[in-house]
Amino acid sequence: MKLVVTGGAGYIGSVVTSQLLDAGHDVTVVDDLSTGHEDAVPPGATFVRARIHDIGDHLDGADGVLHFAAKSLVGESVESPELYWENNVVGSFALLEAVRAAGVPRFVFSSTAACYGEPDVSPITEDVTPAPINPYGHSKYAVDLMLTGYARAHGLGATSLRYFNVGGARGRFGERHAVETHLIPNVLMVPAGKRERMNIFGDDYDTPDGTAVRDYLHVVDLGRAHLLALDTSEAGRHRVFNLGSGTGYSVREVLDTCRSVTDHDIPADAQPRRPGDPTTLVASSARARAELGWSPEYGIDEIVTDAWDFMRSGVAAERS
């Protein structure tokens, strides 16, 4: 297929672009390089430096759009909600209008577990009513709602993939954020010599060891779900899938995995909770398993091993 990937110079977008190219697709990456890196765009993809607001005629003849480009920091979204409405909502609206004008039949969107806010059920199914609690979650859910309307009114085959916690790398494609807020890369900075200790944000949660529980998914498994979503897309239907492993790990369990993978004792300090962090977020991916035929192949050990190899060398054995 002829595909356009927005945000293909970023972490997840570059990994999925590499998988799409390996599967034989023709890929154009559109990225404004506001947070992405041009050298992360996989060789073989055509690169266009542009905002999603100004996608112009780059969608002509496309069979599908995979839309990763977004602002994605919860804390920043609380401080500067306008950035999230302008980039994620206004930008996605402009992109969808361009999709409609060009008659592109398939659209796969990076949605998020943040749509669910702080649900009191676990695991979280797609039937849980979205109730986002910060502008990042609001902005992503707003686009999900747009897709429902565009599918119904204009026949778009749309899929929202609600990511839980994503980690790991695919060879030289991995996580390179200027401001790193995520747990695994932050922990690995200690054995990498980039910081002395790591912080545990909250050790008084109502969980077995007091630290928050999340569902970590390998980026390669996440990427495979995008290819399946494209292949199974149906005109006029908006589908929503939660993507996670179905297993929760506490911050301390992730820290222990990092210690054993790196063979470093990684000193850690308990700090106050990070505002807005829910206690537990674990996905039910039963729907993705049933309708996409998807299931994750890799676990927390591979996630940490591949993130560590990426951080050390930028080059690691590829998982297909």
Which residues are the active-site residues? 136
Report the residue number, 30 or 281, with the smaller CB distance to ligand UDP.
Answer: 281
Pair of tokens at residue 309: 């190899």
What burial class does residue 148 get, using C-beta atoms within 10 Å of its C-beta: 0-12 exposed, 13-18 middle, 19+ buried? Answer: middle
CB of 240 to ligand UDP, least distance (A): 19
CB of 131 to ligand UDP, least distance (A): 16
Residue nearest to ligand UDP (CB): 212
Q: Give CA–CA dist 312/317, Å, rounded.
A: 13
Q: Give CA–CA dist 62/181, Å, rounded.
A: 35
Per CB under 6 A, the list member of 274, 293, 295, 314 interacting with ligand UDP is 274
x-marked contacts with ligand UDP along 141-170 as a string, rule CB under 6 A: ------------------------x-----
Stretch that binds ligand UDP, among 47-55, 122-130, 193-201, 219-227 (CB under 6 A): 193-201
How many residues touch ligand UDP under the rule CB under 6 A: the total is: 14
Per CB under 6 A, the list member of 80, 122, 125, 186 interacting with ligand UDP is 186
Which residue from 273, 282, 272, 223 is spatially nearest to 247, judged by alpha carbons?
282
Pair of tokens at residue 186: 């932050």
Sign of CA pseudo-dihedral 215, 38, 69, 176: positive
Q: Is 181 in the site for ligand UDP (CB under 6 A)?
A: yes
In the 8-state DSSP scheme, what is residue 87?
I
The residues facing 31 across adjacent strands are: 49
Q: Does a cis peptide bond (omega within 30 degrees of 0) precede residue 123?
A: yes
CB of 95 to ligand UDP, least distance (A): 24
The residues facing 269 across adjacent strands are: 199
Q: Is 251 in the site for ligand UDP (CB under 6 A)?
A: yes
CB of 56 to ligand UDP, least distance (A): 33
Q: Which pairs from 178-181 meet CB under 8 Å and 24+ separation? A: 178/35, 179/73, 181/73, 181/74, 181/75
Q: Is 227 in the site for ligand UDP (CB under 6 A)?
A: no
Stretch that binds ligand UDP, among 57-65, 196-204, 220-228, 237-245 (CB under 6 A): 196-204
Q: Give CA–CA dist 191/311, Å, rounded.
A: 10
Per CB under 6 A, the list member of 158, 198, 303, 311 interacting with ligand UDP is 198
SS3 316: coil
Report the residue number, 32 or 306, with the smaller CB distance to ligand UDP.
Answer: 306
Q: Is 197 in the site for ligand UDP (CB under 6 A)?
A: no
Residue ranges that bind ligand UDP, judged by CB under 6 A: 165, 181-183, 186, 198-201, 212, 214, 251, 274, 277
